[in-house]
Amino acid sequence: MSAPPDREETVLVQVDNLGKSYAQPDGEPLVVLAGAALSLAAGETLAITGQSGSGKSTLMALLAGLDRPDSGRILVAGRDLVGMAEAELTRFRAGHIGIVFQQFHLMPHLSAEENVSLPLELLGRPSPPEGIDALLDRVGLAARRRHLPGQLSGGECQRVAIARALAVAPDLLLADEPTGNLDVATGRSVADLLFHLAERERMTMIVVTHNEALADRCTRRLRLERGLLL
Amino acid sequence: MRVWLRLGWREIVRSPRFTTLFVLNLALGLAGFLLITAFGGSLGRHLDDNLREMLGADLVLRSSRPLTADEQAMGRTLAGPGAVQAEQLSFYSMVRGPRLARLARVVAVDAAHPLYGRLAYAGDAVHDQVIATLQRERTVLLTREAARALAVEAGETLTIGRADYRVAFFLERDPAAEFSAIDLAPKLFLGLPQVRESGLIRFGSRVSYQTLIRLPANTDAATVAARLEKALAAAAGGETPVRVATTAEVNRRLGQVVGFFAEFLGLASMVSLFLAGLAAGHLFREQLRARRRETAILLSLGARRAAALGLHTGVLAVLGLAAALLAILFAWLLLPLFAFLFRGLLPAGLHLGIGPMDAALVVVVGVSGSFLFCLPVSLRLAAVQPLHLLQQTAEAPPAQTAALRLLPLLGLLPALGLLFLLASRLGGSLFSGAVFTGGLVVLLGTLFLFARLLLAGCRLLAVRVGLTLRIVLRNLYRNRLAAASLFTALAAALLLVALIPQAERGLQAEVSRPEGMELPDLFLVDIQPEQQQPLADFFAGGGPRLSDPAPMVRGRIVRINGVPFADWRQQHVDSEERVFRRTEFNFSSRAQLDASETVVRGRPLSSEPWTGEGVFEISMEQQFSRRLGVAIGDRMVFDIQGIELEGEVVNLRRVRWNSFQPNFFLLFQRGVLDEAPRTYLASVSRVKAADKVELTRRLSAAFPNLSVIDVSQVVEQLGAIAGRLAGALRFMAGLAMVTGLVAVFAIARQEALRRERELNLLRVLGASVGRVRLLTMLEFGLVGAAAGLSAVLLSYAASYAVAWLLFDRLWRFDWPAALLLCAGATLVCAGTALFAADSVLRRRPVALLG
């Protein structure tokens, strides 16, 4: 088990006693999380691994504020996600949390640069073209900024998704199996990009993955087993 | 805001096929609705603008006897100082020209004519000169069309009654012309002082005496009319034979003639609009998967849910607006076709156009309808959670509660509400709107349930058939919702298509050939008692056959069951029933019933003549009894030439009015009318077409007072009118069919996209493209065949019921048409589905497995 942050370091993410279960047709609830807890300092990268069906995606959804736990507390940058109303949670997520999905989930009819600037526009923040260009340049796609997702390869789509997640300069970056839909070589280059940017921006990042190599690149590592983070 | 506008615009332009089909489909449905709305609106505006000219006055006093001096004075007094009056009378009479004799409508006017409007004359004729000449000399004024109908030219003479009148002037425009083709007798004008020369104004002649009044400016006609009616009734001691008509009443009456049919057309257009809405919903459903994902992405990026849903609503609104604008264009292009279809039935000078309010209404319906018909799909978008992005499947989890499962169905209710409002507007009442909407829901629900039954049968059948059919039947059963929706939409459209020709055929057959009866060729009216024998002698010797003349006596209904008729009318009769506004009715009696009559309730009239003691027996026509609120056993008191007689209703008769035989609402027991002054009616049959003109001319010469109605010409004109009306109905049915086909296309395409993996797998496993196409065609062809068969059976059941209720069971099953409809539905459905699925079928299997 990786060591938790020292008390002097700023804790960006604090999860305590998180519980989540789902109703089943036979009436017996399926317990996915049973008191999971973690603590993550600013600038740390954490890998959460586990077998299929262990609840990794559930945990990711709770950390991103996309779902509500049955019990426990989630603090991100000092704010309790569980206590927030829906609108407040949405607003907080938009400005403080960046998400990279396994299936990229780009808007198919927006170009690369438009996909990247979309979160800023939704927040109502100005999105100067040079800022967007710089982001795309950082992910190596400045020359493809006007291309639609359908004209990009899987790896290129994921790079755009990474740039989009970084556009709002989030406090926390969540990556759900970021290389899961990519071949080995492409996955490696995307992973390199992701960690390079995280290090450069001193980004706090949580990566959910079953890829051991990817998990090894994080500063800390936790395993989700029987509803607990070990 | 800009980001939402940009996203919305991208949604619209990135799916050109969806956008085009959605807009086109909705535009077709809206176009039908707009055509009817514009038609009704144009007619209404025309009548409002021209009624005074058409009526020739603000008020008209009408009676079947000359107005007394007191009555005329009452009119002058109550109309107020500055009012102007004109006198006029009109009647139908045979008119003999140099070449033929024909029934015409004679209108005798005084020097004040017309009170409104300007008559336009051919040549150099000046109005004052024309009117003065008509008063002074035996001359006639008529339109060129009337002259052609009478085969007479300028300077020639027309014999009316026993006097000759010279054709002196031609009228270019008669503002009082109402509906040019429904008026079956050409009209001609004489001077009022000259009409008595004809000798036709005598006892028994049906003459309408009119006093026309032009009111002073800013006088409310309705108020004056009400005061006049009251004063006339008071002067007559309760019931007056003088009726007061205003332009509002004429407006309503004229509007009813075409309005009734326009309402029916309007409701047919509602079916088309509903099917277009159904197709729109299915087209939008095709986009559901992509839109659900995009909504989830936007929510995950921090967009507010209301804004994300507002994006889709905005897109639908824009598409609805585009559809409305396109519908306005379609309707503008199609209106001349409508005018052509209704030619001869519309007032002269009517211009059909789309008013601004009509256009605004279509825009509102387009925008709101686009949203409401897609609401069941939009509700599923409202349930999207960004959480779904983290799941491996793009599909939302199935609904967990019964309420959630019912949500799409409940989402249809607002669309039905919109239809109800529109149907109420078109039908003229909330009741007709409710009947239509309720009927549509019942029809569609029945079709849907029937489809589910058939599909359940597919499951049972699937185990007994070969592989190809097994796949087809299995697909149908497992995709029950789509198959049932397809079946319902198609069957509803086909039902309309099937019903209309049957209705037209039934109507034509009923009008031209009443079952078991010989249709007469001529109908004779105003036969005087002393003319019976000469008339019989005229037709003696073979050839044309004269029926037994039927006596006709005029009188008034005084009381029913002790209640004065005026009070009874108020209590029992619908205020819209025009026939009961008059006070005089025609009575007759006969030794035995005509072939066109059947006693349906009660006992036959006594064969013994009434002795004058007690009450006599009455036979009443059944529809008349229902409208009057009279039943067997009721007692009625009549005033016939000042003598009050009391009778009792002993039976109700069904009368085949389309037999064109002399028939009456009220038949009295023999002996009641023996002493009453009367005229006679008769019919003439077995007249050869080539001899008709000559026979009519000879009849008219021998019996100048007789009116001869050419029945076959009437039947032909009615048939022509029925044909034209059916043409308009067929047009609407065609629109419904097109929108139904779009629904077929949308559902077929949706199914093809949903099952592309399965189709691809079949090909990977070795099925050829041809085989996969065959499966698609068979699957949708079976649905089409079932829908066609259901539509045929339902339509024949409906037309049989209508024939039984209205047309005395005249009905035939048209095998060729039924087979054609079923085969057509099968082929069209299969072909459309193949076309819709083609782009999926043509993809390489490898590409689809990626």
Q: In sequence order, what DSSP letters do the residues of B41-88 get, joined into one string? A: HHHHHHHHHHHHHHHTSSEEEEESSPPPHHHHHHHHHHH-TT-EEEEE
> According to the per-residue pLDDT averaged within each range, which of A133-137, B316-320, B765-769, B795-799 is highest?
B316-320
The predicted pLDDT at position B634 comes to 94
The alpha carbon of residue B765 and the mean position of all alpha carbons in its chain are separated, in whole angstroms, by: 58
> According to the per-residue pLDDT averaged within each range, which of A87-101, A121-135, B835-849 is highest?
A87-101
Q: Is the pLDDT of residue B714 over 80?
A: no
Q: Is the pLDDT of residue A2 over 50?
A: no
* CB pair distance less than 8 Å for B300 and A99: yes
The predicted pLDDT at position B394 comes to 39
Q: What is the mean pLDDT of residues B227-245?
A: 83
The predicted pLDDT at position B31 comes to 92
Q: Is the pLDDT of residue B400 over 60?
A: no
* CB pair distance less than 8 Å for B391 and A94: no
The predicted pLDDT at position B511 comes to 60
Residues of A in contact with B389 (CB under 8 A): 66, 101, 103, 105
Average pLDDT in chain A: 87
The predicted pLDDT at position B156 comes to 94
The residue that leads in pLDDT, B15 or B326, is B326
- Pick from B276, B267, B266: nearest CA to B23: B276
* CB pair distance less than 8 Å for A66 and B391: no
Residues of B in contact with A90 (CB under 8 A): 299, 302-305
The predicted pLDDT at position B815 comes to 77
The predicted pLDDT at position B319 comes to 95
Q: Is the pLDDT of residue B226 over 80?
A: yes
Instruction: Report the gap between the CA of B753 and the closest CA in chain A (Å).
Output: 18
With CA atoms as reference, the chain B residue closest to A94 would be B302
| Percent of all residues in chain B with a pLDDT value above 70, rounded to a whole number | 87
Long-range contacts of B455-459 (CB under 8 A, 24+ apart): B455/B480, B455/B483, B455/B484
Lowest mean pLDDT among A119-133, B103-117, B505-519: B505-519
Which of A114, A119, A176 is closest, CB to CB, to B301? A119
Residues of B in contact with A64 (CB under 8 A): 300
How would you classify the pairing of strands B550-560 and B584-588? antiparallel
B737 Ramachandran zone, left/alpha/beta (phi>0; psi -120 to 50): alpha
Rg from Cα positions in chain B: 34
| Percent of all residues in chain B with a pLDDT value above 90, rounded to a whole number | 19
Instruction: Report the gap between the CA of B394 and the closest CA in chain A (Å).
Output: 10
The predicted pLDDT at position B405 comes to 62
Q: Is the pLDDT of residue B423 over 60?
A: yes
Instruction: Report the gap between the CA of A67 and the closest CA in chain B (Å).
Output: 7
Residues of B in contact with A86 (CB under 8 A): 305
- Give the pLDDT band (50/70/90) at residue B177: low
Instruction: Report the gap between the CA of A90 and the closest CA in chain B (Å).
Output: 5
- Give the pLDDT band (50/70/90) at residue B103: confident
> CA distances (Å), B531 to each of B487, B534, B535, B630, B682, in order?
66, 5, 6, 36, 12
Note whether B315 contacts A: Cβ–Cβ < 8 A: no
The predicted pLDDT at position B763 comes to 66
Contact present, A227 and A33 (Cβ < 8 Å): yes
CA–CA dist B362, B369 (Å, integer): 10
Instruction: Report the gap between the CA of B10 and the closest CA in chain A (Å).
Output: 6
> According to the per-residue pLDDT averaged within each range, which of A9-13, B590-594, B601-605, B731-735 is highest?
B601-605
Q: Name residues whose C-beta falls within 8 Å of residue B741's C-beta, 6 or more positions apart in sequence.
A: B493, B828, B832
The predicted pLDDT at position A40 comes to 92
pLDDT tens-digit readout, B471-517: 888 888 887 877 888 888 888 888 877 877 776 666 666 566 555 66
First CA to last CA distance, chain B: 37
Look at chain B and count its residues: 850
- Pick from B484, B491, B439: nearest CA to B794: B491
Count CB pairs under 8 A between chains A and B. Answer: 65
Q: What is the mean pLDDT of residues B64-84?
A: 86
Note whether B296 contacts A: Cβ–Cβ < 8 A: yes
Q: What is the mean pLDDT of residues B57-80?
A: 86
Contact present, B320 and B277 (Cβ < 8 Å): no
- Alpha helices in B192-246, H assignment, sequence order: 192-195, 221-235
> CA distances (Å), B73 to each of B77, B79, B208, B213, in order?
6, 10, 19, 12
The predicted pLDDT at position B577 comes to 58
With CA atoms as reference, the chain B residue closest to A105 would be B297
The predicted pLDDT at position B803 comes to 66
| Letter string b/e over residues B83-122, b meaning 16 or more CB atoms within 10 A of that residue's CB | bebbbbbbbbbbbbbeebbbbbbbbbbbeebbbbbebebe
The predicted pLDDT at position A1 comes to 40
Per-residue H/E/C for B310-365? HHHHHHHHHHHHHHHHHHHHHHHHHHHHHHHHCCCCCECCCCCCCCHHHHHHHHHH
Taking residue B22's Cβ as centre, other Cβ atoms within 10 Å add up to: 29
Note whether B11 contacts A: Cβ–Cβ < 8 A: yes
Which of B302, B305, B385 is closest, CB to CB, to A93? B302
The predicted pLDDT at position B568 comes to 86
Handedness of CA B513, B517, B523, B525 (dihedral sign): negative
* CB pair distance less than 8 Å for A94 and B301: yes
Handedness of CA B29, B788, B509, B625 (dihedral sign): negative
| Letter string b/e over residues B176-186, b meaning 16 or more CB atoms within 10 A of that residue's CB | bbbeeeeeebb
Instruction: Report the gap between the CA of A33 and the closest CA in chain B (Å).
Output: 16
Note whether B14 contacts A: Cβ–Cβ < 8 A: yes
Q: Is the pLDDT of residue A173 over 80?
A: yes
CA–CA dist B40, A50 (Å, integer): 72
Q: For A87, which DSSP code? A: H
The residue that leads in pLDDT, B403 or B98, is B98
- Give the pLDDT band (50/70/90) at residue B121: confident
With CA atoms as reference, the chain A residue closest to B11 would be A109
Average pLDDT in chain B: 82
Look at chain A and count its residues: 230
The predicted pLDDT at position B850 comes to 40
CA–CA dist B165, B209 (Å, integer): 21
CA–CA dist B721, B706 (Å, integer): 28
The predicted pLDDT at position B181 comes to 47
Q: Is the pLDDT of residue B564 over 70?
A: yes
The predicted pLDDT at position B259 comes to 67
Tokens of A18: 């998180």
The residue that leads in pLDDT, B401 or B162, is B162
How would you classify the pairing of strands B563-564 and A97-100? unpaired
Taking residue B264's Cβ as centre, other Cβ atoms within 10 Å add up to: 17
Tokens of B367: 């925008």
B162 Ramachandran zone, left/alpha/beta (phi>0; psi -120 to 50): alpha
ipTM value > 0.85? no
- Alpha helices in B342-466, H assignment, sequence order: 356-373, 375-382, 402-410, 413-427, 430-462
CA-angle at B846, arms to B841 and B848, nearest 5°: 55
Q: Is the pLDDT of residue A219 over 50?
A: yes
The predicted pLDDT at position B795 comes to 84
Lowest mean pLDDT among B62-66, B204-208, B666-670: B204-208
Instruction: Report the gap between the CA of A175 and the closest CA in chain B (Å).
Output: 11
Q: What is the mean pLDDT of residues B826-844?
A: 80
With CA atoms as reference, the chain B residue closest to A103 would be B389
Q: What is the mean pLDDT of residues A135-153?
A: 91
The alpha carbon of residue B562 and the mean position of all alpha carbons in its chain are separated, in whole angstroms, by: 39
Residues of A in contact with B401 (CB under 8 A): none
With CA atoms as reference, the chain B residue closest to A91 would be B302
Q: Is the pLDDT of residue A7 over 50?
A: no
Handedness of CA A32, A34, A35, A37 (dihedral sign): negative
Host H or E run for residue B21: helix B16-55
pLDDT tens-digit readout, B520-545: 888 898 888 899 999 999 998 778 99
- Give the pLDDT band (50/70/90) at residue B251: low
Q: Is the pTM of this model over 0.90?
A: no
